[in-house]
Structure 1
Amino acid sequence: MLLNPNWRILTIGDGDLTFSYSLKKHHQIKNLSATVLDDKKTLTTKYKDNGLSGLTNLGEKVFFELDITNKTTWPAELKNAFDLVIFQFPLVPAAKSCEDFTNAPSQNIVNRALLRDYLKACFNYFLDENGLRLSYITSKEVKPYLHWQIETDLTVDTNITHMGKQVFDYALFPDYQIRNVDRDKKVKDTEGFIYAYSDKPQDDDILKVFTPFKFINDKYCALCRVGPYSSDENGKRHLASKKHQKLSQYQREWFLYLDSIK
Protein backbone atom coordinates (compact mmCIF):
# COMPACT_ATOMS: atom_id res chain seq x y z
CA MET A 1 0.00 0.00 0.00
CA LEU A 2 1.45 3.31 -1.07
CA LEU A 3 1.68 5.44 2.08
CA ASN A 4 3.63 8.43 3.31
CA PRO A 5 3.97 9.23 7.04
CA ASN A 6 3.30 12.90 6.26
CA TRP A 7 0.02 12.28 4.46
CA ARG A 8 -3.16 13.10 6.35
CA ILE A 9 -5.08 9.82 6.27
CA LEU A 10 -8.70 8.92 7.04
CA THR A 11 -10.00 5.36 7.36
CA ILE A 12 -13.67 4.65 6.70
CA GLY A 13 -15.73 1.89 8.30
CA ASP A 14 -12.83 0.19 10.09
CA GLY A 15 -15.03 -2.29 11.97
CA ASP A 16 -12.75 -3.26 14.88
CA LEU A 17 -10.16 -0.51 14.30
CA THR A 18 -7.28 -2.98 14.00
CA PHE A 19 -6.41 -1.76 10.51
CA SER A 20 -6.19 1.85 11.67
CA TYR A 21 -4.17 0.80 14.72
CA SER A 22 -1.76 -1.21 12.57
CA LEU A 23 -1.51 1.69 10.11
CA LYS A 24 -0.54 4.08 12.89
CA LYS A 25 1.74 1.73 14.80
CA HIS A 26 3.71 0.21 11.93
CA HIS A 27 3.74 3.06 9.39
CA GLN A 28 4.14 6.03 11.75
CA ILE A 29 1.37 8.05 10.13
CA LYS A 30 1.55 11.47 11.77
CA ASN A 31 -2.03 12.53 11.09
CA LEU A 32 -4.57 9.69 11.17
CA SER A 33 -8.30 9.74 11.81
CA ALA A 34 -10.36 6.55 12.04
CA THR A 35 -14.10 6.11 11.62
CA VAL A 36 -16.52 3.30 12.39
CA LEU A 37 -20.21 2.80 11.71
CA ASP A 38 -20.95 1.47 15.21
CA ASP A 39 -21.16 3.46 18.41
CA LYS A 40 -18.41 2.90 20.97
CA LYS A 41 -20.37 0.48 23.16
CA THR A 42 -21.42 -1.66 20.21
CA LEU A 43 -17.88 -1.83 18.86
CA THR A 44 -16.29 -2.89 22.17
CA THR A 45 -19.08 -5.40 22.83
CA LYS A 46 -18.99 -6.89 19.35
CA TYR A 47 -15.20 -7.10 19.06
CA LYS A 48 -13.51 -8.10 22.30
CA ASP A 49 -10.07 -7.74 20.70
CA ASN A 50 -10.07 -4.36 18.97
CA GLY A 51 -7.77 -1.46 18.16
CA LEU A 52 -9.57 1.29 20.07
CA SER A 53 -7.34 1.46 23.14
CA GLY A 54 -4.21 1.17 21.01
CA LEU A 55 -5.27 4.11 18.84
CA THR A 56 -6.23 6.14 21.88
CA ASN A 57 -2.89 5.44 23.53
CA LEU A 58 -1.14 6.63 20.38
CA GLY A 59 -3.08 9.89 20.53
CA GLU A 60 -5.44 9.33 17.61
CA LYS A 61 -9.10 10.26 17.56
CA VAL A 62 -11.87 7.84 16.56
CA PHE A 63 -15.16 9.04 15.11
CA PHE A 64 -18.09 6.75 15.87
CA GLU A 65 -21.40 6.33 14.02
CA LEU A 66 -20.10 7.72 10.73
CA ASP A 67 -22.23 6.36 7.90
CA ILE A 68 -20.55 7.01 4.58
CA THR A 69 -23.96 6.98 2.85
CA ASN A 70 -25.41 9.65 5.17
CA LYS A 71 -23.73 13.06 5.09
CA THR A 72 -25.55 14.20 8.24
CA THR A 73 -23.21 11.87 10.18
CA TRP A 74 -20.01 13.40 8.77
CA PRO A 75 -18.22 15.62 11.34
CA ALA A 76 -17.41 19.13 10.16
CA GLU A 77 -13.83 18.80 11.38
CA LEU A 78 -13.23 16.06 8.79
CA LYS A 79 -14.22 18.25 5.84
CA ASN A 80 -11.46 18.97 3.29
CA ALA A 81 -8.91 17.66 5.79
CA PHE A 82 -7.13 14.70 4.16
CA ASP A 83 -4.73 13.62 1.44
CA LEU A 84 -5.82 9.97 1.39
CA VAL A 85 -8.99 8.11 2.38
CA ILE A 86 -9.03 4.30 2.75
CA PHE A 87 -11.91 1.81 2.81
CA GLN A 88 -10.82 -1.73 3.67
CA PHE A 89 -12.77 -4.71 2.29
CA PRO A 90 -16.20 -3.03 2.24
CA LEU A 91 -19.20 -5.34 2.15
CA VAL A 92 -22.87 -4.78 2.93
CA PRO A 93 -24.23 -7.71 4.99
CA ALA A 94 -26.71 -9.90 3.14
CA ALA A 95 -30.40 -9.30 3.86
CA LYS A 96 -31.34 -11.21 6.99
CA SER A 97 -34.98 -11.98 6.15
CA CYS A 98 -37.14 -12.76 3.14
CA GLU A 99 -38.89 -9.40 3.58
CA ASP A 100 -35.60 -7.50 3.65
CA PHE A 101 -34.47 -9.28 0.50
CA THR A 102 -37.75 -8.59 -1.32
CA ASN A 103 -37.72 -4.89 -0.47
CA ALA A 104 -34.04 -4.25 -1.17
CA PRO A 105 -32.19 -3.91 -4.46
CA SER A 106 -29.93 -6.82 -5.36
CA GLN A 107 -26.86 -7.31 -3.20
CA ASN A 108 -24.75 -6.52 -6.24
CA ILE A 109 -26.38 -3.10 -6.62
CA VAL A 110 -26.33 -2.39 -2.87
CA ASN A 111 -22.59 -2.96 -2.70
CA ARG A 112 -21.82 -0.98 -5.85
CA ALA A 113 -23.91 1.88 -4.48
CA LEU A 114 -21.98 1.82 -1.21
CA LEU A 115 -18.64 2.11 -3.03
CA ARG A 116 -19.89 4.86 -5.33
CA ASP A 117 -21.22 6.80 -2.33
CA TYR A 118 -17.85 6.34 -0.66
CA LEU A 119 -15.90 7.67 -3.65
CA LYS A 120 -18.19 10.66 -4.08
CA ALA A 121 -17.92 11.43 -0.36
CA CYS A 122 -14.13 11.31 -0.55
CA PHE A 123 -13.82 13.78 -3.39
CA ASN A 124 -16.75 16.02 -2.45
CA TYR A 125 -16.15 16.25 1.28
CA PHE A 126 -13.22 14.56 3.01
CA LEU A 127 -10.25 15.24 0.70
CA ASP A 128 -8.44 18.57 0.85
CA GLU A 129 -9.15 20.63 -2.25
CA ASN A 130 -5.45 21.54 -2.40
CA GLY A 131 -4.08 18.20 -1.21
CA LEU A 132 -2.99 14.96 -2.84
CA ARG A 133 -6.58 13.74 -3.36
CA LEU A 134 -6.17 9.96 -3.31
CA SER A 135 -8.75 7.35 -2.40
CA TYR A 136 -8.23 3.59 -1.90
CA ILE A 137 -10.64 0.69 -1.89
CA THR A 138 -9.13 -2.61 -0.79
CA SER A 139 -11.15 -5.57 -2.07
CA LYS A 140 -10.89 -9.16 -3.28
CA GLU A 141 -11.01 -10.63 -6.76
CA VAL A 142 -13.40 -13.45 -5.94
CA LYS A 143 -17.21 -13.52 -6.01
CA PRO A 144 -19.15 -11.42 -5.08
CA TYR A 145 -16.52 -8.64 -5.00
CA LEU A 146 -15.35 -9.46 -8.50
CA HIS A 147 -18.81 -8.72 -9.86
CA TRP A 148 -18.91 -5.10 -8.68
CA GLN A 149 -16.80 -3.81 -11.60
CA ILE A 150 -14.72 -1.71 -9.24
CA GLU A 151 -12.35 -0.54 -11.99
CA THR A 152 -14.93 0.64 -14.50
CA ASP A 153 -18.49 1.24 -13.33
CA LEU A 154 -18.31 3.05 -9.99
CA THR A 155 -17.17 6.41 -11.35
CA VAL A 156 -19.63 6.79 -14.23
CA ASP A 157 -20.65 10.45 -14.74
CA THR A 158 -18.02 11.73 -12.30
CA ASN A 159 -14.58 13.28 -12.76
CA ILE A 160 -13.01 10.51 -10.64
CA THR A 161 -10.51 8.24 -12.40
CA HIS A 162 -9.47 4.70 -11.50
CA MET A 163 -5.65 4.78 -11.61
CA GLY A 164 -4.95 1.05 -11.22
CA LYS A 165 -4.43 -1.57 -8.56
CA GLN A 166 -1.73 -2.93 -6.26
CA VAL A 167 -1.55 -6.18 -4.30
CA PHE A 168 -2.44 -5.69 -0.64
CA ASP A 169 0.37 -7.07 1.53
CA TYR A 170 -1.12 -8.30 4.81
CA ALA A 171 2.36 -8.69 6.31
CA LEU A 172 2.74 -4.91 6.41
CA PHE A 173 -0.13 -4.68 8.92
CA PRO A 174 0.71 -7.23 11.66
CA ASP A 175 -2.09 -6.18 14.04
CA TYR A 176 -4.81 -6.12 11.40
CA GLN A 177 -7.49 -8.75 11.99
CA ILE A 178 -9.54 -9.72 8.92
CA ARG A 179 -13.09 -10.57 9.96
CA ASN A 180 -16.46 -11.36 8.48
CA VAL A 181 -18.80 -8.38 8.61
CA ASP A 182 -20.30 -7.95 12.09
CA ARG A 183 -18.69 -11.11 13.46
CA ASP A 184 -16.01 -11.39 16.12
CA LYS A 185 -14.15 -14.07 14.22
CA LYS A 186 -11.02 -13.84 12.13
CA VAL A 187 -11.15 -15.26 8.62
CA LYS A 188 -8.51 -16.64 6.29
CA ASP A 189 -6.61 -14.01 4.34
CA THR A 190 -7.69 -14.02 0.70
CA GLU A 191 -5.57 -12.15 -1.82
CA GLY A 192 -6.67 -8.56 -1.86
CA PHE A 193 -5.95 -5.59 -4.11
CA ILE A 194 -5.84 -1.86 -3.47
CA TYR A 195 -7.77 0.06 -6.12
CA ALA A 196 -6.62 3.67 -6.35
CA TYR A 197 -8.64 6.69 -7.49
CA SER A 198 -8.08 10.41 -7.95
CA ASP A 199 -9.73 13.38 -9.60
CA LYS A 200 -6.47 15.17 -10.42
CA PRO A 201 -3.30 14.25 -12.36
CA GLN A 202 -0.79 12.38 -10.21
CA ASP A 203 3.00 12.28 -10.39
CA ASP A 204 4.75 9.34 -12.04
CA ASP A 205 6.16 8.15 -8.70
CA ILE A 206 2.58 7.50 -7.59
CA LEU A 207 1.22 6.18 -10.87
CA LYS A 208 4.02 3.63 -11.29
CA VAL A 209 2.94 1.82 -8.13
CA PHE A 210 -0.42 0.85 -9.59
CA THR A 211 -1.09 -1.53 -12.47
CA PRO A 212 -3.58 0.03 -14.91
CA PHE A 213 -6.71 -1.87 -15.89
CA LYS A 214 -5.82 -3.54 -19.16
CA PHE A 215 -9.10 -5.06 -20.38
CA ILE A 216 -10.24 -1.96 -22.21
CA ASN A 217 -10.13 -2.48 -25.97
CA ASP A 218 -12.26 -4.60 -28.30
CA LYS A 219 -9.89 -7.57 -27.99
CA TYR A 220 -10.79 -7.91 -24.30
CA CYS A 221 -13.91 -8.18 -22.17
CA ALA A 222 -13.81 -5.60 -19.38
CA LEU A 223 -16.75 -7.19 -17.58
CA CYS A 224 -15.20 -10.65 -17.34
CA ARG A 225 -11.54 -9.56 -17.37
CA VAL A 226 -10.57 -11.93 -20.18
CA GLY A 227 -8.57 -11.57 -23.38
CA PRO A 228 -7.06 -10.89 -25.71
CA TYR A 229 -9.29 -13.03 -27.89
CA SER A 230 -7.40 -15.36 -30.20
CA SER A 231 -9.89 -14.63 -32.98
CA ASP A 232 -13.14 -12.80 -33.70
CA GLU A 233 -14.96 -16.11 -33.39
CA ASN A 234 -13.44 -16.67 -29.98
CA GLY A 235 -14.68 -13.25 -28.91
CA LYS A 236 -18.21 -13.99 -30.13
CA ARG A 237 -18.28 -17.25 -28.19
CA HIS A 238 -17.25 -15.44 -25.04
CA LEU A 239 -19.97 -12.80 -25.45
CA ALA A 240 -22.52 -15.60 -25.69
CA SER A 241 -21.24 -17.39 -22.57
CA LYS A 242 -23.31 -17.71 -19.40
CA LYS A 243 -20.71 -15.82 -17.38
CA HIS A 244 -20.73 -12.85 -19.71
CA GLN A 245 -24.51 -12.79 -19.89
CA LYS A 246 -24.75 -12.79 -16.10
CA LEU A 247 -22.29 -9.92 -15.68
CA SER A 248 -23.99 -8.01 -18.48
CA GLN A 249 -27.26 -8.29 -16.59
CA TYR A 250 -25.61 -6.91 -13.45
CA GLN A 251 -24.30 -4.00 -15.47
CA ARG A 252 -27.72 -3.25 -17.00
CA GLU A 253 -29.25 -3.26 -13.52
CA TRP A 254 -26.53 -0.91 -12.30
CA PHE A 255 -27.12 1.67 -15.03
CA LEU A 256 -30.88 1.45 -14.48
CA TYR A 257 -30.22 2.14 -10.80
CA LEU A 258 -28.06 5.15 -11.61
CA ASP A 259 -30.77 6.52 -13.89
CA SER A 260 -33.33 6.06 -11.10
CA ILE A 261 -31.41 8.22 -8.63
CA LYS A 262 -30.62 11.13 -10.92
Structure 2
Amino acid sequence: MTPRDAADDSHGTPGDSGRSGRWSDLDRPPLNAAALRRGLVRDGGLWTRVEVVQRTGSTNADLVARAAAGEAAEGTVLIAEEQTAARGRLDRRWTAPARSGLFFSVLLRPGDGVPVARWGWLPLLTGVAVATGLARAAGVDTALKWPNDLLVTVDGEERKAGGILAEGAGDGGVVIGVGINVTLRQDELPVPQAGSLALAGAVSTDRDPLLRAVLRSLEEWYGRWRAADGDPAAAGLQETYAAGCATLGRTVRAELPGDRSLVGEAVAVDGDGRLVLATQDGVQQPVGAGDIVHLRPA
Protein backbone atom coordinates (compact mmCIF):
# COMPACT_ATOMS: atom_id res chain seq x y z
CA MET A 1 0.00 0.00 0.00
CA THR A 2 1.20 3.39 -0.66
CA PRO A 3 0.69 6.72 0.93
CA ARG A 4 2.41 8.32 -2.01
CA ASP A 5 3.90 7.35 -5.33
CA ALA A 6 7.54 8.21 -5.87
CA ALA A 7 9.84 8.08 -8.84
CA ASP A 8 12.79 6.72 -6.87
CA ASP A 9 13.92 5.58 -3.44
CA SER A 10 16.34 8.41 -2.75
CA HIS A 11 14.72 9.83 0.37
CA GLY A 12 16.38 8.92 3.67
CA THR A 13 15.81 10.09 7.20
CA PRO A 14 17.51 13.47 7.82
CA GLY A 15 20.66 13.20 9.84
CA ASP A 16 21.35 9.51 9.32
CA SER A 17 23.08 9.49 5.92
CA GLY A 18 20.30 7.41 4.39
CA ARG A 19 20.43 4.69 7.04
CA SER A 20 17.77 4.56 9.71
CA GLY A 21 19.05 3.88 13.21
CA ARG A 22 16.54 3.17 15.93
CA TRP A 23 17.06 6.57 17.58
CA SER A 24 18.39 8.56 14.63
CA ASP A 25 15.39 10.91 14.69
CA LEU A 26 14.13 11.57 18.21
CA ASP A 27 11.01 13.28 16.86
CA ARG A 28 10.02 9.87 15.49
CA PRO A 29 10.13 7.33 18.32
CA PRO A 30 9.55 3.65 17.55
CA LEU A 31 6.21 1.98 17.97
CA ASN A 32 5.56 0.10 21.21
CA ALA A 33 4.76 -3.39 19.95
CA ALA A 34 3.86 -4.79 23.38
CA ALA A 35 1.43 -1.95 24.08
CA LEU A 36 -0.16 -2.34 20.66
CA ARG A 37 -0.75 -6.04 21.30
CA ARG A 38 -2.27 -5.33 24.71
CA GLY A 39 -4.60 -2.75 23.20
CA LEU A 40 -5.69 -4.72 20.13
CA VAL A 41 -5.51 -8.49 20.67
CA ARG A 42 -8.41 -9.82 22.75
CA ASP A 43 -10.57 -12.94 22.96
CA GLY A 44 -13.32 -12.82 20.36
CA GLY A 45 -11.75 -9.85 18.57
CA LEU A 46 -10.61 -9.66 14.97
CA TRP A 47 -6.92 -9.01 15.62
CA THR A 48 -5.09 -12.20 16.54
CA ARG A 49 -1.42 -11.24 16.07
CA VAL A 50 0.32 -7.86 15.95
CA GLU A 51 3.95 -7.81 14.86
CA VAL A 52 6.27 -4.83 14.35
CA VAL A 53 9.43 -5.21 12.26
CA GLN A 54 12.10 -2.55 11.95
CA ARG A 55 12.67 -2.84 8.22
CA THR A 56 11.33 -4.91 5.35
CA GLY A 57 10.73 -4.66 1.63
CA SER A 58 6.94 -4.72 1.71
CA THR A 59 4.53 -5.73 4.46
CA ASN A 60 2.00 -6.74 1.80
CA ALA A 61 4.45 -9.05 0.06
CA ASP A 62 5.54 -10.56 3.37
CA LEU A 63 2.00 -11.19 4.59
CA VAL A 64 0.81 -12.58 1.25
CA ALA A 65 3.70 -15.06 1.37
CA ARG A 66 2.90 -16.07 4.96
CA ALA A 67 -0.77 -16.55 4.13
CA ALA A 68 0.06 -18.65 1.06
CA ALA A 69 2.30 -20.84 3.23
CA GLY A 70 -0.42 -21.28 5.85
CA GLU A 71 1.62 -19.34 8.41
CA ALA A 72 -0.85 -16.52 9.10
CA ALA A 73 -4.35 -16.53 10.54
CA GLU A 74 -7.09 -14.00 9.89
CA GLY A 75 -6.47 -10.92 11.95
CA THR A 76 -2.69 -10.94 11.57
CA VAL A 77 -1.28 -7.40 11.49
CA LEU A 78 2.24 -6.79 10.17
CA ILE A 79 3.69 -3.32 10.72
CA ALA A 80 7.01 -1.99 9.44
CA GLU A 81 8.90 1.02 10.75
CA GLU A 82 10.45 1.31 7.30
CA GLN A 83 9.77 -0.26 3.91
CA THR A 84 12.35 -0.45 1.14
CA ALA A 85 10.32 -1.97 -1.70
CA ALA A 86 6.77 -0.87 -1.03
CA ARG A 87 4.40 -0.46 -3.93
CA GLY A 88 0.99 0.84 -4.75
CA ARG A 89 -1.45 0.24 -7.54
CA LEU A 90 0.03 -0.45 -10.99
CA ASP A 91 3.26 -1.48 -9.22
CA ARG A 92 4.23 2.11 -8.49
CA ARG A 93 7.03 2.32 -5.94
CA TRP A 94 7.32 4.68 -3.04
CA THR A 95 9.49 5.26 -0.01
CA ALA A 96 9.37 7.24 3.22
CA PRO A 97 11.75 8.02 6.08
CA ALA A 98 11.79 5.44 8.86
CA ARG A 99 9.04 5.93 11.47
CA SER A 100 7.55 8.87 9.54
CA GLY A 101 4.22 7.11 9.03
CA LEU A 102 2.08 4.04 9.57
CA PHE A 103 2.96 1.26 7.15
CA PHE A 104 1.06 -1.97 7.79
CA SER A 105 -0.85 -4.87 6.28
CA VAL A 106 -3.66 -7.01 7.63
CA LEU A 107 -4.93 -10.44 6.61
CA LEU A 108 -8.70 -10.88 6.30
CA ARG A 109 -10.69 -13.96 5.34
CA PRO A 110 -14.27 -12.92 4.49
CA GLY A 111 -15.28 -16.57 4.27
CA ASP A 112 -18.35 -18.23 2.82
CA GLY A 113 -20.70 -15.66 4.33
CA VAL A 114 -19.59 -12.91 1.95
CA PRO A 115 -19.89 -13.53 -1.81
CA VAL A 116 -16.59 -13.04 -3.64
CA ALA A 117 -18.32 -10.48 -5.87
CA ARG A 118 -18.57 -8.18 -2.85
CA TRP A 119 -14.92 -8.45 -1.81
CA GLY A 120 -14.17 -5.46 -4.02
CA TRP A 121 -15.60 -3.36 -1.21
CA LEU A 122 -12.72 -4.25 1.12
CA PRO A 123 -10.36 -1.41 0.04
CA LEU A 124 -13.26 1.07 0.14
CA LEU A 125 -14.26 -0.24 3.58
CA THR A 126 -10.67 0.20 4.72
CA GLY A 127 -10.69 3.78 3.46
CA VAL A 128 -13.79 4.54 5.52
CA ALA A 129 -12.23 2.90 8.57
CA VAL A 130 -8.96 4.81 8.23
CA ALA A 131 -10.73 8.15 7.74
CA THR A 132 -12.98 7.49 10.73
CA GLY A 133 -10.09 6.43 12.95
CA LEU A 134 -7.93 9.41 12.00
CA ALA A 135 -10.79 11.86 12.57
CA ARG A 136 -11.12 10.53 16.11
CA ALA A 137 -7.45 10.25 17.03
CA ALA A 138 -5.72 12.94 14.94
CA GLY A 139 -8.50 15.48 14.54
CA VAL A 140 -7.86 15.57 10.78
CA ASP A 141 -10.62 15.59 8.20
CA THR A 142 -9.55 12.89 5.73
CA ALA A 143 -11.36 12.62 2.41
CA LEU A 144 -11.38 9.58 0.13
CA LYS A 145 -10.40 9.68 -3.52
CA TRP A 146 -11.83 6.71 -5.38
CA PRO A 147 -10.65 4.02 -5.27
CA ASN A 148 -7.76 3.97 -2.82
CA ASP A 149 -6.30 7.37 -1.85
CA LEU A 150 -6.55 9.27 1.44
CA LEU A 151 -6.59 13.04 1.07
CA VAL A 152 -5.92 15.83 3.57
CA THR A 153 -6.00 19.60 3.19
CA VAL A 154 -2.69 21.46 3.49
CA ASP A 155 -2.65 25.25 3.02
CA GLY A 156 -6.02 25.07 1.30
CA GLU A 157 -4.87 22.37 -1.13
CA GLU A 158 -6.00 18.78 -1.31
CA ARG A 159 -3.02 16.45 -0.98
CA LYS A 160 -2.49 12.71 -0.89
CA ALA A 161 -1.44 11.52 2.57
CA GLY A 162 -2.17 7.83 2.31
CA GLY A 163 -3.26 4.92 0.23
CA ILE A 164 -4.63 1.39 0.31
CA LEU A 165 -3.76 -1.72 -1.67
CA ALA A 166 -5.68 -5.01 -1.53
CA GLU A 167 -4.18 -8.26 -2.83
CA GLY A 168 -5.47 -11.80 -2.94
CA ALA A 169 -3.65 -14.18 -0.63
CA GLY A 170 -5.05 -17.51 -1.80
CA ASP A 171 -7.43 -19.84 0.05
CA GLY A 172 -10.01 -17.13 0.64
CA GLY A 173 -7.57 -14.58 2.05
CA VAL A 174 -7.16 -10.91 1.26
CA VAL A 175 -4.20 -8.83 2.39
CA ILE A 176 -4.87 -5.12 2.70
CA GLY A 177 -1.93 -2.76 2.96
CA VAL A 178 -2.23 0.76 4.34
CA GLY A 179 0.29 3.56 4.25
CA ILE A 180 -0.27 6.88 5.99
CA ASN A 181 2.17 9.79 6.09
CA VAL A 182 2.14 11.01 9.69
CA THR A 183 5.12 13.29 10.39
CA LEU A 184 6.48 13.77 6.87
CA ARG A 185 7.90 17.30 6.64
CA GLN A 186 7.60 19.76 3.78
CA ASP A 187 11.23 19.25 2.69
CA GLU A 188 10.70 15.48 2.61
CA LEU A 189 7.77 15.49 0.19
CA PRO A 190 8.58 13.57 -3.01
CA VAL A 191 6.05 15.57 -5.03
CA PRO A 192 4.10 18.77 -4.30
CA GLN A 193 0.84 16.79 -4.27
CA ALA A 194 1.93 14.75 -1.23
CA GLY A 195 0.94 15.62 2.32
CA SER A 196 0.94 14.31 5.86
CA LEU A 197 -1.15 14.47 9.01
CA ALA A 198 1.39 16.85 10.57
CA LEU A 199 1.21 19.24 7.62
CA ALA A 200 -2.59 19.07 7.80
CA GLY A 201 -2.53 20.28 11.41
CA ALA A 202 -3.12 17.03 13.28
CA VAL A 203 -3.72 17.51 17.01
CA SER A 204 -1.65 14.35 17.61
CA THR A 205 1.06 12.61 15.61
CA ASP A 206 1.73 9.90 18.20
CA ARG A 207 1.65 6.84 16.00
CA ASP A 208 0.67 4.33 18.70
CA PRO A 209 -2.79 5.76 19.45
CA LEU A 210 -3.29 6.60 15.78
CA LEU A 211 -2.67 2.99 14.77
CA ARG A 212 -4.90 1.64 17.54
CA ALA A 213 -7.71 3.97 16.45
CA VAL A 214 -7.41 2.96 12.80
CA LEU A 215 -7.33 -0.78 13.54
CA ARG A 216 -10.26 -0.59 15.97
CA SER A 217 -12.24 1.31 13.35
CA LEU A 218 -11.34 -1.31 10.73
CA GLU A 219 -12.45 -4.08 13.08
CA GLU A 220 -15.78 -2.30 13.62
CA TRP A 221 -16.51 -1.70 9.91
CA TYR A 222 -15.37 -5.18 8.86
CA GLY A 223 -17.66 -6.67 11.49
CA ARG A 224 -20.64 -4.67 10.24
CA TRP A 225 -19.94 -5.62 6.64
CA ARG A 226 -19.59 -9.34 7.41
CA ALA A 227 -22.74 -9.30 9.55
CA ALA A 228 -24.57 -7.89 6.52
CA ASP A 229 -23.15 -10.68 4.31
CA GLY A 230 -21.07 -8.08 2.48
CA ASP A 231 -24.07 -5.95 1.49
CA PRO A 232 -22.60 -2.40 1.50
CA ALA A 233 -26.00 -0.71 1.73
CA ALA A 234 -27.24 -2.82 4.65
CA ALA A 235 -23.94 -2.28 6.49
CA GLY A 236 -24.19 1.49 6.06
CA LEU A 237 -20.91 1.35 4.17
CA GLN A 238 -22.08 2.56 0.78
CA GLU A 239 -23.73 5.68 2.24
CA THR A 240 -20.78 6.47 4.52
CA TYR A 241 -18.26 6.04 1.71
CA ALA A 242 -20.24 8.35 -0.57
CA ALA A 243 -20.44 10.99 2.16
CA GLY A 244 -16.66 11.03 2.55
CA CYS A 245 -15.69 10.59 -1.10
CA ALA A 246 -14.00 13.69 -2.54
CA THR A 247 -14.38 12.30 -6.08
CA LEU A 248 -18.17 12.49 -6.20
CA GLY A 249 -19.61 15.65 -7.73
CA ARG A 250 -16.45 16.36 -9.69
CA THR A 251 -15.58 16.19 -13.33
CA VAL A 252 -12.89 13.52 -13.58
CA ARG A 253 -10.85 11.68 -16.15
CA ALA A 254 -10.66 7.93 -15.73
CA GLU A 255 -7.44 6.43 -17.14
CA LEU A 256 -8.59 2.95 -18.10
CA PRO A 257 -6.75 -0.25 -19.01
CA GLY A 258 -5.69 -0.42 -22.64
CA ASP A 259 -4.64 3.25 -22.85
CA ARG A 260 -8.25 4.40 -22.89
CA SER A 261 -9.72 7.30 -20.97
CA LEU A 262 -13.19 8.51 -20.08
CA VAL A 263 -14.24 11.98 -18.92
CA GLY A 264 -17.43 12.62 -17.00
CA GLU A 265 -18.97 13.74 -13.74
CA ALA A 266 -18.59 11.26 -10.89
CA VAL A 267 -22.19 10.86 -9.75
CA ALA A 268 -22.25 7.71 -7.59
CA VAL A 269 -20.50 4.66 -6.21
CA ASP A 270 -22.67 1.68 -7.11
CA GLY A 271 -23.41 -1.49 -5.16
CA ASP A 272 -20.33 -3.19 -6.59
CA GLY A 273 -18.04 -0.36 -5.47
CA ARG A 274 -17.62 1.00 -8.99
CA LEU A 275 -17.45 4.71 -9.73
CA VAL A 276 -20.31 5.83 -11.98
CA LEU A 277 -19.48 8.59 -14.47
CA ALA A 278 -22.10 10.64 -16.31
CA THR A 279 -20.60 11.49 -19.71
CA GLN A 280 -21.44 14.36 -22.03
CA ASP A 281 -23.38 11.87 -24.16
CA GLY A 282 -25.85 11.38 -21.31
CA VAL A 283 -24.61 7.87 -20.57
CA GLN A 284 -23.87 6.65 -17.05
CA GLN A 285 -20.75 4.51 -17.26
CA PRO A 286 -19.50 2.44 -14.30
CA VAL A 287 -15.72 2.28 -13.87
CA GLY A 288 -14.34 -0.67 -11.93
CA ALA A 289 -10.61 -0.07 -12.33
CA GLY A 290 -8.31 2.71 -13.37
CA ASP A 291 -6.63 5.91 -12.26
CA ILE A 292 -8.90 8.86 -11.55
CA VAL A 293 -7.78 12.45 -12.13
CA HIS A 294 -9.83 15.21 -10.51
CA LEU A 295 -10.33 17.89 -13.17
CA ARG A 296 -12.22 20.46 -11.12
CA PRO A 297 -13.36 20.99 -7.52
CA ALA A 298 -16.75 19.74 -6.39
TM > 0.5: no
Q: Give the structure with the larger helix fraction.
A: 1
TM-score with structure 2 setting the length? 0.29
Q: Give the structure with the larger strand fraction.
A: 2
